[in-house]
Amino acid sequence: MLEFNPQLIVFFLFAILTLGGALGVVTNRNLIHGAIYLIISLFGGAGLFVLLSAPFLAAVQVLVYIGAIAILIIFAVMLTRSMTSMRELYNRQWWASAVAAVLLFGMLVLGVIGPVWVTNEETSQPVSDLVATTQDLGVALVDGNQYVLPFEIASLLLTAAMIGAIVIAREDD
């Protein structure tokens, strides 16, 4: 059974922040308010990362998503004309996105939560053995036998993303 402890309270607090923020994003007519709700939701996600003993990812979540992507979203909102007050909350494709959302949720449940839930008994090692430090991450990222290829591809992908963005966003030559 679930044990009542401070960590559980904090978990529910962050879960409410994440879900409530997400709900605010999709139900708000003002895009800037939507961006603020998104920030709240992302902050809740950062808190969940901390609870999962992944503080580096939590800090990255705040730095990249709140510090950069949220700012970018606000810039993007101001690029569009009169988008600060949308009149329609739904458009004609709402049912398609609803189906996609349900399918994605089902996939997450089956693919991620399911196996963890089922095999919970077997993998109940002490947590301290499983926790990797940020230093381990650094070693693994550039180790020839581990993730060096994805590491370089990530850099290439980001470079390509930037070049693509510049090509599209530039007004003239």
Partner 1 sequence: MEAQCINTLETLAPCLVRGGMDPGLAQFLSIAAGVLIVSGLPLLLVIIFIWVERKIAARVQDRLGPNRVGPFGILQNIADAVKLIIKEDITPAGADRLIYTAAPIVAMLSVILIWSVVPFTPIHIGADLDIGVVYVVAIGSVGTLAIMMAGWSSNNKYALLGAFRVVAALVSYEVPMIVALLIPLMLAGTMSMQGIVEAQQGMWFVISAPIAALIFYISNMAETGRAPFDLIEAESELVAGYNIEYSGMKFGLFMASEFLHSFTVNLLFAVIFLGGWSGPFVHQVPVLGVVYLGIKSIIPYIFTIVFRSTVPRVRIDQMMAFNWKFLVPVSIVNVLLVAFVLKVVQELGLSPSPENVHDFAANLPQTAILLVTNLLMGLVTINILRNAGRRERIADQNRALRGAERDSAIVPTAIS
Partner 2 sequence: MTVVNEWAFIGVSMAVAWIFPALPLVVSWIFRPRRPNAIKMATYECGVETVGDTWVQFKVQYYLNGLVFLVFDVELIFLFPWAIAYSQLDFFAFGAGLLFIFLLTDALIYAWKKNALEWQ
Per CB under 8 A, 56 contacts partner 1: yes
| Residue 162 near residue 169, CB atoms below 8 Å | no
Least separation, in Å, of the C-beta of 144 and partner 1? 16
Maximum alpha-carbon separation in the chain: 64
Binding residue (CB under 8 A) for partner 2 from 56, 97, 114, 119: 56
Cα separation of 20 and 41, whole Å?
A: 7
Burial class for 34, CB neighbours closer than 10 Å (0-12, 13-18, 19+):
buried
Of 82 and 124, nearer to partner 2 (C-beta) is 82
Binding of partner 2 at residue 141 (CB under 8 A)? Answer: yes
Quickly list DSSP for 22-90: HHHHHH-SSHHHHHHHHHHHHHHHHHHHHHTT-HHHHHHIIIIIIIIIHHHHHHHHHHSTT-SS-S-S-
Q: By CB under 8 A, what part of segment 59-88 binds partner 2?
A: 60, 63-64, 67-69, 71-72, 75-76, 78-82, 84
Residue 72 or 103 with smaller CB distance to partner 1: 72
Quick check: 148 binds partner 2 (CB under 8 A)?
A: yes
Residues 14-53 that bind partner 2 (CB under 8 A): 50, 53
Residues in contact with partner 2 by CB under 8 A are 6-7, 10, 50, 53, 55-56, 60, 63-64, 67-69, 71-72, 75-76, 78-82, 84, 134-139, 141-144, 148, 151-152, 154-156, 158-159, 161-163, 165-166, 169-171
